[in-house]
Amino acid sequence: MKAQAVRKGLVEKIPVPERMFFFRSCVASNKYPGIETGAVDALKILGVEMVETDDQTCCGGFVTFANVAAPTASMPAVARNLSLAEERDLDVCVVCNGCWTFLNEFAHFMNGNQEVKKAINMMLGMMGRSFKGTSGVYHVAELFYRLKDCLTEKVAGSRPLKGLRVATHYGCHYLNSGKYTAIDDPFYPTFIEELVEIMGGTNVWYEANRECCGTGFSQVINNKEVSYDHTEMKLDSLQAVDPDFTVVICPYCFTQLDRMQQQLHYRRGKEYDLPVVHISQLVGLALGVPTKRLAFDAHMGGRAKLGQVLKHFD
């Protein structure tokens, strides 16, 4: 755990504005739409309104780290997306660890490197935009943590997750890459557990808690066997404690943990029944967002159990 004082300082630095720029994630929009509706609705109940625009594109992290685009090619794309928030004078809220680290890291690089910033602004100038570097990028999970007093107030009477056993998976790109900027320690994080406790759930520990989901970025495409091995280990460990929900904060981990259950059943004869949810869906459920709005029919893994668990909420 990060020293309490350090963590408190980092959390207090996160602003609580009335409006924020909502950065859509490509995996969330196109595979699990409930992540986005959950984030928008839950934050609205907690008093933050989300502003969206169709002018926003994908963050570009995927093509960059696949070595298809050099950083010189993707940095202007990052600057362009951030300039949309700057035009509206808002901070950015993201739902994906990948978007968070990519936007943050590259914005930090451009802000610290005036020559690069100048070159990028020259390019953006041709399309009538400019990058100033004034908008902060915040992950939806850290926003929920920032708003935990408000959340506590809203769920105090009902404790909606009471009786549910919840396992957590933080993913790599929020805590590891954000060694100094993320609100928690990369090796012993606890802030999602705290949120689960506030909502009345019971946290369960499993051995592979701090392991990567196994996507391994491009490994799931280029070296499938390696990726299967890793995910198998992770899912075995999860299945051993048999949680009601596995809560993730990244749509890409979500995809891997959710869909590999079927893949590993097909390829290696494994049996899993592990419903996976995103933190925004979980908070949404707790705050009474209708299950229909949270798009649980997009979930592929753990359907039998998910059906039972969701009966508590309808």
Partner 1 sequence: MEERLEDWSKDFYERWKPIAMGFVNEAEKCLGCGKCTGQCPAAAVTPTYNPRKIIRDLNMGNIKRVVSSIELWQCFFCGGCYAACPMDINFPFFIFMLRLAAMSEGFGWEDVKRMEGYAEEEYLPKGITVTTRERNPYILENRPEIKEIRTRAGLEPKRKVTPRALAEINMISDLSGMTAFMKKIGGVPVYDCSRCDAEIERKCKEKVRPKKVGRIRTHDRYYNYGLPGGGGD
Q: Should residue 209 be labelled a site residue for partner 1 when binding is judged by CB under 8 A? A: no
- Looking only at residues 42 through 61 of this chain, which bind partner 1 when binding is defined by CB under 8 A? 54-58, 60
Task: Rule CB under 8 A: say whether 310 interacts with partner 1.
Answer: no
Site for partner 1 in 65-84 (CB under 8 A): 65-73, 76-77, 80
Token pair for residue 258? 């959710």
Per CB under 8 A, the list member of 2, 7, 23, 31 interacting with partner 1 is: 31
Query: What would the two tokens of residue 193 be?
Result: 């557990």
Q: Which amino acid is at 45?
A: I
Interaction of residue 294 with partner 1, rule CB under 8 A: yes
Least Cα distance to 272 among 259, 282, 286 occurs for 259
Q: How far apart are CB 106 and partner 1 at their closest, in Å?
A: 10
Report the nearest approach of partner 1 to the CB of residue 310 (Å).
Answer: 14
Residue 314, number of CB atoms within 10 A of its CB = 7
From the list 12-20, 144-152, 262-270, 271-279, the region that binds partner 1 by CB under 8 A is 262-270
Q: What does the per-residue mask of binding to partner 1 show for 221-240, with x meaning CB under 8 A? A: xxx--x--xx--x-------
Which is closer to partner 1, CB of 117 or CB of 201? 117
Residue 264 and residue 173: Cα distance in Å, rounded?
24
195 in helix, strand or coil? helix
* 24/201 with CB nearer partner 1: 24
By C-beta, is 146 or 173 nearer to partner 1? 173
- Quick check: 29 binds partner 1 (CB under 8 A)? yes
Closest distance of CB 289 from partner 1, Å: 10
Residues whose CB falls within 8 Å of the CB of residue 3, separated by 6 or more in sequence, listed in order: none
Q: Please state the closest distance from residue 65 (CB atom) to partner 1, in A.
A: 6
Rounded CA gap, 300 and 260, in Å? 9
The answer to the question of residue 274 lying near partner 1 (CB under 8 A) is no
Which two three-digit tokens encode residue 296? Answer: 């649980």
Listed residue (250, 249, 253, 230) closest to 301, CA to CA: 253
Q: Within a 13 Å sphere around the CA of 162, how many CA atoms are in the beta-carbon half?
A: 6
Least distance CB 257 / partner 1 (angstroms):
14
Sign of the CA dihedral 264, 270, 273, 279?
Answer: negative
Cα dist from 265 to 179, 224, 228, 232, whole Å: 36, 15, 11, 10
Handedness of CA 229, 233, 238, 241 (dihedral sign): positive
Q: Which of 3, 5, 126, 304 binds partner 1 (CB under 8 A)?
A: 126
27 touching partner 1, by CB under 8 A = yes
Q: Hey, what amino acid is at 285?
A: L
User: Which range binds partner 1 by CB under 8 A, 8-16, 154-162, 173-181, 270-278?
Assistant: 173-181
Among 122-130, 134-142, 150-158, 271-279, the segment contacting partner 1 (CB under 8 A) = 122-130
Give me the least distance between CB of 301 and partner 1, in Å please: 11
Q: Which of 11, 14, 63, 310 binds partner 1 (CB under 8 A)?
A: 63
Displacement of CA 14 from its chain's centroid (Å): 17
Question: Least distance in Å: CB of 104 to partner 1?
Answer: 12
In the DSSP assignment, the letter for residue 112 is T
